[in-house]
Structure 1
Amino acid sequence: MQFDKYILQKIDEELKNYVNKDDKLYNASKHLLFAGGKRIRPYLTVVTYMLKKDDIEKVLPAAVAVELIHNYTLIHDDIMDNDDERRGKPTVHKVYGEPIAILAGDLLYAKAFEAVSKINNEKKSYEVLKILSKACVDVCEGQAMDMEFENYFPSMEEYLEMIRKKTGALLEAAVEIGAVMGDCNEEERKALKEYAKRIGLTFQIQDDILDLIGDKKKIGKPVGSDIREGKKTIIVIHALKTLDEDNKKKLLNVLGNKNISDEEIKEIIEILKPSIDYAKNLMKQKTEEAKNYLKIFDKDRRKVLEDLADFIIERIY
């Protein structure tokens, strides 16, 4: 799908208002912010708002608050995972060092709440604040769960709960905030929450798939890096439940081995194909469910959200 360039331009203009100083700290905070991210979260906020409203200027501070929080989580994530690259560029801590990177993340976090304070309706500002702070708590809990999974193999239910928090929470918040700003009623807000839950799930599953069969240049990291890092993705969890003993042993032998060759990665990807298909089918099912929840909205206005649900599982990076 083509994202509306006017909306993206307005989001970027609004973002620049919060990081417009030119010094080391602000340059570090801008390093990822303007490094070619897709802007899915603020875009979701704006197009959800547009289900009922047309004046997008009023929703921009709320939309960029979500994007600022998202980028704060990415900077801190990269430090925790000791990642060298993101979006095909060196990570913030690799360029500026860890202390400045931590501060740059904290700055974006604080700026998000500055953006919320710019919402010119006190009731809505309070609602957005509640949604955003809950999402931040969920992201932290989800990240902690993900780190705990390094010590054991989670069940499918535990994994899905982790991605609902770590990845889904901010996507849900983006949609919920758009609904608040657009004056959606209770029934509409519930439907949008269900829609958002499902696209949050599919977003992470597609990331898990792209790590194995994506294009290295497009995804900005080596294919199979989740295997090398020992990540317990939905694909690995499904495989361990369904593979025969020989293939299970092969998978367990390479999982978390940073020194395995590209050839070994290829062999493992071959073994994982049925589980990749399982993940793809689950995404299709959840995407259809997501779109069904939008049926209560005007057909023309809801189309962007329907297209976004499809885009999330068809994207190649």
Structure 2
Amino acid sequence: MDREILSLIDEELKKYVNKNNKLYSAANHLLLSGGKRLRPYLCVLVYKLKKDNLSEVLPAAVSVELIHNYTLIHDDIMDNDDLRRGKPTVHKVYGNAMAILAGDLLYAKAFEAVANIKDNRKAHEVLKILADACVYVCEGQAMDMEFEEKDSVSLEEYLDMIRKKTGALIEAAAKIGAVMGDFNDEEMKAIEKYAENIGLTFQIQDDVLDLIADEEKLGKPVGSDIREGKKTIIIIHALSTLEEDKKNRLKSLLGKKDITKEEIGEAIEILRPSIEYAKNLMENKTIEAIDALKIFDKDRRKPLEDLAKFIISRCY
């Protein structure tokens, strides 16, 4: 990823969270703790397919990152997670009430960033894209929570959930870059196809990393999805393909409150074929994403091709 672009994104973000008090400290705890900056970076790369005036696109790009961090803070509260990016979560440091306010602040700041877009027509389009994405994220999160109560979840249901919970903001980032770059209808459709595919691969890679990543790089314990009994693509595939004895053993381990590290290791071994299935699916979706870019200039599209490959090769 281009460090110069990432540096510009970070500088733009700091403009919106620059007060020195407890609320802003809580908001900054996650926002400025690192993170991949995938969404604003994607927004800028899409914009750069046609234009180069980055000062025009930066407020729009950071609006998506502000929304993303708001969702993470609230997500951590709902899941009662202890760690995010290897650091204590906002609610563990500042308490639930202040963490909720910090998330709300970032949500409000996203729309302050949209208001800083100079072109009113573009600002209106960006606002609509962001509002739609926020609705989808809420719907996707609700689906994910409901899945925990269901005995079985289909692959189609899971893919619909991640298109909303994870994919919506990734697609929004790409579409906002296209709006700011004055894309025509054909170009917008190509970018939507690219973004839909990388949105899916991003979440699937998260599911894979939860099982096989280095804990230090991941920033949280490996096997969290097993511990919580989450219906990920890997677990859904396993439950529909495993032999009865292995399926029953896996079911006995999913969501087990006092599960040991050894039992998590056992579950991961049972899931190996399904991890490979997920990896193959990601490869195919990445090919589809890259194919969608062929209508754009070869040199200008290369960073987006590289980003699609990075998403499925990342280790955190």
Q: TM class by shorter-chain length?
A: over 0.9
CA distance in 2, matches of 1:264, 1:81: 22
Q: What's 1:203 paired with?
A: 202
For structure 1, list consecutive stretches of 5 or more residues without a partner in the other structure.
none
Percent identity, please.
Answer: 72
From 5, 8, 12, the counterpart of 1:10: 8
Q: What's 1:42 paired with?
A: 40
Q: What's 2:153 paired with?
A: 154
2:148 partner SS: helix
CA distance in 2, matches of 1:91, 1:54: 37
CA distance in 1, matches of 2:258, 2:197: 36
Q: Which amino acid aligns with 2:268?
A: I
Q: For 1:32-61, what per-residue CA distance to the aligned partner results, in whole angstroms no more than 9, with x for missing partners?
A: 001110100000000100000011011000
State which drifts further: 295-304 or 150-159: 150-159
Establish whether residue 144 from structure 1 lines up as the match of residue 149 from structure 2.
no
Q: For 1:253-305, what per-residue CA distance to the aligned partner results, in whole angstroms no more than 9, with x for missing partners?
A: 01001211111111111111110000000000000000000000000000000
From 35, 55, 62, the counterpart of 1:64: 62
Establish whether residue 122 from structure 1 lines up as the match of residue 120 from structure 2.
yes
CA distance in 1, matches of 2:257, 2:88: 19
Q: For 1:201-252, what per-residue CA distance to the aligned partner results, in whole angstroms no more than 9, with x for missing partners?
A: 0000000000000010011111111100100100000000000000001100
2:252 partner SS: helix
Q: What's 1:212 paired with?
A: 211
Q: Which amino acid aligns with 2:262?
A: E
State which drifts further: 50-59 or 258-267: 258-267
Q: Which amino acid aligns with 2:129?
A: I
Q: What's 2:286 paired with?
A: 287
Q: Which amino acid aligns with 2:81?
A: D
CA distance in 2, matches of 1:146, 1:232: 8
CA distance in 2, matches of 1:146, 1:185: 35
CA distance in 2, matches of 1:139, 1:47: 23
Q: Which amino acid aligns with 1:258?
A: K
CA distance in 1, matches of 2:315, 2:243: 30
From 87, 91, 94, the counterpart of 1:93: 91
CA distance in 1, matches of 2:9, 2:67: 14
Q: What's 1:112 paired with?
A: 110
Q: What's 2:131 paired with?
A: 133
Q: For 1:160-196, what per-residue CA distance to the aligned partner results, in whole angstroms no more than 9, with x for missing partners?
A: 0000000000000000000000011100000100100
Q: Which amino acid aligns with 1:238?
A: H
CA distance in 1, matches of 2:228, 2:148: 9
CA distance in 1, matches of 2:141, 2:240: 24
CA distance in 1, matches of 2:15, 2:103: 17
Q: Which amino acid aligns with 2:252?
A: N
* Over 6 Å off, 4+ runs: none
Establish whether residue 180 from structure 1 lines up as the match of residue 179 from structure 2.
yes
CA distance in 2, matches of 1:216, 1:5: 25
For structure 2, list consecutive stretches of 5 or more residues without a partner in the other structure.
none
Q: What's 2:25 paired with?
A: 27
* TM-score, normalization by structure 1: 0.99
Establish whether residue 191 from structure 1 lines up as the match of residue 190 from structure 2.
yes
